[in-house]
Amino acid sequence: MSTMSNEEYNANVKAVWRVTGILAVVTIVEVVAALIYPETMPRLLLNFFFIVMSVAKAYYIISVFMHLGHERRALQLTVLLPTLFLVWAIIAFLWEGSAWLNLRSIWH
Amino acid sequence: MSTTTVNQQNEWDGGVSPMNVGYGKMMMWYFLVSDAFSFAALLITYGTIRFSHIDWPDPNEVFSAFPFMGHTHLPLMFVSFMTFTLIMSSVTMVRAVQEGHRKNQKGVALWMGLTIIGGLIFLGSQAWEWNHLIHGGMTIATPWSQLDHHTGDVVYTAPKIFGQLFFTITGFHGFHVTTGVLINIIIFIQNLRGVYEKRGHYEMIEKVGLYWHFVDLVWVFVFLCFYLL
């Protein structure tokens, strides 16, 4: 809670506007990609691009806006490590969804 | 913090704050972790159900309207505007936190005020989008259907679950935005009354800021799942 020096303040303000620029550009690139991506190319490639870009946006929001990048290591780990469970949840449930689709196509 | 006489070989032995954040801020982080799991559960449900369907509506067709533009086909334009509004209100929130570090009461008031306006614009936009979709026939009980741009005939009918998931997830997110705006208004008034000036620190701005950024963070993934993929 210490008051920060003027220099530190200016550096922080600059960092925030830089990240604002990054987030805005990434969002614009995503929308343009969604609109101009040719239908003949594999959809998987575009989806992979969207996911990578969204994770990048999430990284900047958490690290800079929420300031987690400058917190103690212990706080960073207790916040971030539990979300690793989600990696398994995503794999398991999407797998389940595909199996369900398979059953549907057998029954119809 | 009171001085301690315990033998401090390890900072986790007590008497100090090993994470170097206040109790309230730390618990806000852990609340957000649990809330992230709620949203993840909803979005993973969306993914599972989508994977289990042979057909799914094209977001470029579902979300192609813009206020005051009539039937002009403008795919993703309105939701991009909403995304941009939320990003900007997140930026003004960071600025409010930074002014709080400088104990600049007026600066906090200015940037918090802009954050509240951004939140209200987002909520208004979402209300418009819901209203548009509901009048277009998509509700939790009736499916969205794609019309031919020229003849107006129904060319495709989406699974009913698409609308149910859309209204549940954007609704849960919108509910978070609503409470975020209310909390921001409370903190805005408290700041004007000089509560934090008297308290000597503006940590409360950081706590509500964390919640507000989280709402923006969730929107990144809602935007990804519903509008991009």
Cβ contact B220:A54 at 8 Å? yes
Q: Is position B3 within any domain?
A: no
Residue of B94, B101, B221 to mutate when probing chain A, most A C-beta within 10 A: B94
Q: Is position B1 within any domain?
A: no
Q: In this predicted structure, which of B73-77, B84-88, B176-180, B209-213 has the lowest mean pLDDT?
A: B73-77
Q: What is the pLDDT of residue A1?
A: 45
Is B40 touching A (CB cutoff 8 A)? yes
Rg (C-alpha) for chain B, rounded Å, is 22
Measured between CA atoms, the residue of chain A closest to residue B38 is A86
Task: Name the most confidently modeled range: B132-146, B151-165, B209-223.
Answer: B209-223
Write down the pTM of the prediction: 0.91
Rounded Cα–Cα distance for residues B61 and B76 (Å): 9
Q: Is position B46 within any domain?
A: yes
Confidence of residue A50 (pLDDT cuts 50, 70, 90): very high
B96-134 burial code (b ≥16 CB/10 A, e <16): bbbbbbeebbeebbebbbbbbebbbbbbebbeebbeebe
Rounded Cα–Cα distance for residues B156 and B206 (Å): 48
Residue B86: CATH number of its domain? 1.20.120.80
Q: Is position B12 within any domain?
A: no
Q: What integer is the mean pLDDT of A43-48?
A: 92
Q: Is position B54 within any domain?
A: yes
Q: What is the pLDDT of residue B8?
A: 59
**Secondary structure element (H or E) that encloses residue A74, with its range:** helix A73-80
Measured between CA atoms, the residue of chain A closest to residue B202 is A1
The pLDDT mean for chain B works out to 91
Q: Which domain holds residue B105?
A: 22-228
- Out of A4, A72, A83, closest to residue B101 by CB: A4
Contacts of B33 in chain A (CB under 8 A): 79, 82-83
Rounded Cα–Cα distance for residues A13 and B102 (Å): 12
Is B141 touching A (CB cutoff 8 A)? no
Decide if pLDDT at B170 tops 60. Answer: yes
Decide if pLDDT at B169 tops 90. Answer: yes
Residue B156 in 3-state DSSP? strand
Q: Is position B164 within any domain?
A: yes
The tally of domains found in chain B comes to 1
**Percentage with pLDDT > 90 across chain B:** 70
Decide if pLDDT at A16 tops 70. Answer: yes
Tokens 């206040």 found at: B22
Tally of CB atoms within 10 A around A18: 12
The DSSP symbol for B13 reads G
Cβ contact A69:A63 at 8 Å? yes
Is A12 touching B (CB cutoff 8 A)? yes
Tokens of B186: 């409370």
B17-26 — which CB contacts under 8 Å span 24+ positions? B18/A72, B18/A74, B19/A71, B19/A72, B19/A74, B19/A75, B20/A71, B20/A72, B20/A75, B21/A71, B21/A72, B21/A75, B22/A1, B22/B203, B24/B203, B24/B204, B24/B207, B25/B203, B25/B206, B25/B207, B25/B210, B26/A75
Rounded Cα–Cα distance for residues B103 and B42 (Å): 39
Tell me which residues of chain A, numbers 45 to 104, contact chain B at a CB-CB cutoff of 8 Å.
Answer: 47, 50-51, 54, 57-58, 61-62, 64-67, 71-72, 74-75, 78-79, 82-83, 86, 89-90, 93-94, 96-98, 100-101, 104
A78-108 pLDDT tens trace? 999 999 999 999 999 999 999 999 998 888 7
Decide if pLDDT at A65 tops 60. Answer: yes
Q: Is position B7 within any domain?
A: no
Question: For residue A19, what are the contacts with CB-CB under 8 A and spacing of at least 6?
Answer: A60, A64, A65
Tokens of A72: 């103690």
Decide if pLDDT at A37 tops 50. Answer: yes
Decide if pLDDT at B5 tops 90. Answer: no
Determine the angle formed by the axes of helices A6-36 and B77-101, rounding to 10 degrees.
170
Q: Is position B9 within any domain?
A: no
Decide if pLDDT at A10 tops 60. Answer: yes
All structural domains of chain A with their residue ranges: 6-70
Confidence of residue B44 (pLDDT cuts 50, 70, 90): very high
Confidence of residue B7 (pLDDT cuts 50, 70, 90): low
Beta bridge partners of B145: B157
Decide if pLDDT at B74 tops 60. Answer: yes
**Percentage with pLDDT > 90 across chain A:** 73
Confidence of residue B4 (pLDDT cuts 50, 70, 90): low
Confidence of residue B6 (pLDDT cuts 50, 70, 90): low
Task: Name the most confidently modeled range: B4-8, B15-19, B75-79, B211-215.
Answer: B211-215
